[in-house]
Amino acid sequence: MDSINDWLKQQSITEVECLIPDMTGNARGKFVPADKFSKEETRLPEAVLLQTVTGTYPEEFDEILGVTDSDMYLRPDPDAMRVVPWAKDPTAQIIHDCCTRDGELHPLSSRGVLKRVLALYEKEGWQPVVAPEVEFYLIKQNSDPGDELEPPMGRSKRPEILRSSYTIDAINEFDPLIEDMYDYCEAMGLDVDSLIDETGAAQMELNFLHGNALDLADQVFTFKRTLREIAMQHGVFATFMAKPMEKEPGSSMHIHQSIVDSKTGKNIFVDEEGKENDLFRHYIGGLQRFTKHAMPFYAPNVNSYRRFAKDISAPINLSWGYDNRTTGIRVPESSPQAKRVENRFAGVDVNPYLALAATLASGYLGMKMKIEPSEPCEGSSYDEEIEVARTLESAAKLLDECQELRDILGNTFVDAYVAVKALEYEEFNKVISSWEREHLLLNV
């Protein structure tokens, strides 16, 4: 705590946002005056970690957490402290770990789940290196959920209608917002790299520099919250829905990943001659074997599954290939030291901690179990059958039955996650859509 208190004083902080990521990856927590932060133990109810995206709780609540509605203890991470650039008074945000009374990571903490996966790598003398690519839409502000979403107007006062990737002028339409985004990211120490215009109207992609998996999960968690705030300051919304508009492509969070030797820093996917080795093949084999079970972490919401259809730039099966963007598991061209795998299944609506934990756990299992991959796909994987789950309900059932992932992520956590996602699906299933009213009301 001394290092944290010293930093708070150096920054003249008057208020601290004590944050934790909930199961959806959104920020929960409380505000604490800086002068009381080091003197009082910060706690939150355990129930915070068992909420659905609508704020309800599954029937299995008592089985998972008991009937006492106990507190969990928040432990601040000195490596996850940032100044909040939009706050009027000097304010810091500090991401905390959720712990039990005896100081262990709470079994329902998504940040704790990622830490447990990374501990398995550390035990082997390995260190994952990841680089997320975060897509998002800017949209016209919308106060009625019943209205369809529309792209906003930029400085030309005309909405974007062209569907052309990498268009510089499309980004310049929102130049004041983009400038603030980079300023805020710099102020918060977010290692952002290039920004590109994506295929959708007012859709963009921000790439993060490669680095430590926990740190990058913290950065994506922070970036989402930051961009939403910036967008509202500029009179628009930023959305991280996987498929916000029917006629526009979905938004993903592609995850580049490699593994290095903790002592030497050498990439373990290649041999001394720089050629791909068994560990590389087995890592891909693990992704192929366990992706269908890990899909609720890559597609965590009912809307997520609208991405997975043929010819809409999202993977539909478990094929892998070299520099092949039709596959869900892509191996980009690179130098031997940069040899890596890109997981293209995750939507941008993911909890970044859980998406990273899932992909790293799958690769780890592949290496430990020596799982051989299929032959690489050399054509379009869209010519093959759809293999991924098409609904949250079916994906959750596949996760529920996967003991290998349960052993790594924790039975209690998987039970809770499956229960939350099952309830979200049932809540969604009660809503009658406009499609049903249009086509069934007078026709059946």
3-state secondary structure of 83: strand
Distance CA(421)–CA(404), nearest Å, equals: 20
Q: Report the largest interatomic distance among the alpha carbons of the chain, rounded to a whole angstrom.
A: 70
Is the pLDDT confidence value at 166 over 60? no
**Residues near 166 by beta carbon (within 8 Å), at least 6 away in sequence:** 196, 197
Q: Which of 303-307, 309-313, 431-435 has the lowest mean pLDDT?
A: 309-313
Q: Where are the domains of the chain?
A: 2-106, 119-409
Is the pLDDT confidence value at 162 over 80? no
Calculate the dihedral angle through the C-alpha atoms of 290, 329, 319, 419, rounding to the nearest 10 degrees.
Answer: 30
CA 380 to chain centre: 26
Distance CA(334)–CA(183), nearest Å, equals: 31
Q: Which two tokens stand for residue 156?
A: 């030309």
| Total count of residues recorded for the chain | 444
Alpha helices in 107-174 (DSSP H): 110-123, 168-172
**pLDDT of the residue at 172:** 82
pLDDT band at 164 (very low <50, low <70, confident <90, very high): low
Is the pLDDT confidence value at 312 over 80? no
Q: Which two tokens stand for residue 235?
A: 């009179």
**Residues near 168 by beta carbon (within 8 Å), at least 6 away in sequence:** 197
CA 230 to chain centre: 20
Q: Which two tokens stand for residue 439?
A: 């086509």
**pLDDT of the residue at 200:** 87
Instruction: Indicate the class that CATH gives domain 119-409.
Output: alpha beta
- Give the pLDDT confidence of 332-345 residue by residue, as tens digits: 999 999 999 999 99
- Give the pLDDT confidence of 233-286 residue by residue, as tens digits: 999 999 999 999 988 999 999 999 999 999 999 999 999 999 999 999 999 999
pTM score, two decimals?
0.96
Is the pLDDT confidence value at 2 over 80? no
Is the pLDDT confidence value at 370 over 60? yes
- What's the 3-state SS for 100-148? CCCCCECCCCHHHHHHHHHHHHHHCCEEEEEEEEEEEEEEECCCCCCCC
Share of the chain above pLDDT 90, in %: 84
CATH of 2-106, one of 3.10.20.70, 3.20.20.140, 3.10.20.90, 3.30.2290.10: 3.10.20.70
Q: Which of 30-39, 124-133, 349-358 has the lowest mean pLDDT?
A: 30-39
Bridge partners (DSSP) listed for residue 91? 15
Is the pLDDT confidence value at 309 over 90? no
Is the pLDDT confidence value at 28 over 60? yes
**pLDDT of the residue at 197:** 84
Mean pLDDT of 299-308: 96
Distance CA(191)–CA(212), nearest Å, equals: 11
